Structure 1
Amino acid sequence: MTSNSADINTTPKAVAVLGANGHTGRFVIAELLQRGLKPIAIGRNIRRLAEAGFAERGVECREAAVEDDAALDRALAGAAAVINCAGPFMDTADAVVRAALRAGVHYLDVTAEQPSVQTTLDRHEAAAGKAGVAIIPAMGFYGGLADLLVATVMDEWDDADSIEIFVALDSWLPTKGTRVTGEKNTARRLAINGGQLEPVRQPPAERVSILPEPFGQQTFVELSFSEVPLIARRTQTKELHSFLGTTALRDVRDPSTPPPQPVDDTGRSAQRFAVDVIVSRGEVRRRIVAQGQDIYAVTAPIICEAVQRILSGDIRDTGAKPPAAIFNAASFLRALAPHLSVEVAEM
Structure 2
Amino acid sequence: MENTIVVYGAYGHTGKFIVAELYRQGYGNLILSGRDLEKLTALLPFFPDSEIKVADINNPKSLDEAFKGAKIIINAAGPYLDTATPIIKSALRSGSHYIDLSAEQKPVLDIIDEFSEEAKNKEILIIPAAAFYGGLADILATQLTKEWGHTDEINVYIGLDSWHPTKGTRLTGYRNHYKRLTFKDNRLKELEPTPSKEWNFKEPIGCKEVVSLPLSEIITISNHLNVNSVNTYLSQNSLDDLRNNSTPEPKPTDEKNRSSQQFSLEVVALKGNEERRISAQGQDIYAVTAPLVVETVNRILSGKAASNGVKTLGEAFAAGDFLNSLQEDDIKITTVEKSYVK
Residue equivalent to 2:327: 337
Unpaired stretches in structure 1, ≥5 consecutive residues: 1-10
The answer to whether the aligner puts 1:291 opposite 2:262 as a matched pair is: no
**Stretch deviating more after TM superposition (208-217 or 62-71):** 208-217
Give 1:220 deviation, angstroms: 0.4
Residue equivalent to 1:127: 118
Residue equivalent to 2:87: 96
Relative to structure 1, the CA distance from residue 54 to residue 134 in structure 2 (aligned partners, 3 Å threshold; closer, same or farther) is farther
The answer to whether the aligner puts 1:316 opposite 2:306 as a matched pair is: yes
Give the counterpart letter for 1:334 in structure 2: N
Give 1:264 deviation, angstroms: 1.2
**Stretch deviating more after TM superposition (152-161 or 86-95):** 152-161
Contact 2:153 2:228 in 1 (8 A): yes
Give 1:265 deviation, angstroms: 2.3
Residues 53-64 of structure 1: pairs in structure 2 closer than 5 A: 53=44, 56-64=47-55
Distance 2:50 2:109 in 1: 33
Residue equivalent to 1:245: 235
Contact 1:81 1:107 in 2 (8 A): yes
Q: Deviations over 1:89-122 (max 9, x none)?
A: 0101000000000011100000100001000111
Residue equivalent to 1:257: 247
Give 1:143 deviation, angstroms: 0.2
Distance 2:83 2:110 in 1: 12
Residues 212-223 of structure 1: pairs in structure 2 closer than 5 A: 212-223=202-213
Match of 2:292 among 298, 302, 305: 302
Residue equivalent to 2:170: 179
Give the counterpart letter for 1:182 in structure 2: G
Residue equivalent to 2:6: 16
Q: Deviations over 1:160-189 (max 9, x none)?
A: 111100000111000000000001111111
Residue equivalent to 1:8: none
The SS at the match of 2:288 is helix
Give 1:54 deviation, angstroms: 5.1
Relative to structure 1, the CA distance from residue 12 to residue 101 in structure 2 (aligned partners, 3 Å threshold; closer, same or farther) is closer
Give the counterpart letter for 2:196 in structure 1: E
Q: Deviations over 1:226-270 (max 9, x none)?
A: 101111111122221100001110100000000000001221100
Residue equivalent to 1:143: 134
Match of 1:37 among 27, 42, 52: 27
Distance 2:139 2:118 in 1: 24
Residue equivalent to 2:256: 266
Contact 1:140 1:302 in 2 (8 A): yes
Distance 1:166 1:111 in 2: 18
The SS at the match of 1:142 is helix
Residue equivalent to 2:69: 78
Give 1:12 deviation, angstroms: 7.8
Relative to structure 1, the CA distance from residue 77 to residue 22 in structure 2 (aligned partners, 3 Å threshold; closer, same or farther) is same
Corresponding pairs, count: 336
Residue equivalent to 1:157: 148
Residue equivalent to 1:188: 179
**Stretch deviating more after TM superposition (152-161 or 11-20):** 11-20
Give 1:280 deviation, angstroms: 0.2
Give 1:195 deviation, angstroms: 2.1
Q: Deviations over 1:197-247 (max 9, x none)?
A: 101112x34221112211221110000111011111111222211000011
Give the counterpart letter for 2:162 in structure 1: S
Q: Deviations over 1:138-170 (max 9, x none)?
A: 000000000000001112112111110000011
- State percent identity of aligned pairs: 38
Distance 1:310 1:54 in 2: 29
Distance 1:151 1:56 in 2: 35
The answer to whether the aligner puts 1:49 opposite 2:35 as a matched pair is: no
| TM-score, reference length from structure 1 | 0.94
The answer to whether the aligner puts 1:209 opposite 2:202 as a matched pair is: no
Contact 2:2 2:70 in 1 (8 A): no
Distance 2:168 2:99 in 1: 18
Distance 1:342 1:325 in 2: 19
Give the counterpart letter for 2:154 in structure 1: I
Residue equivalent to 1:168: 159
CA RMSD between the two structures: 1.3
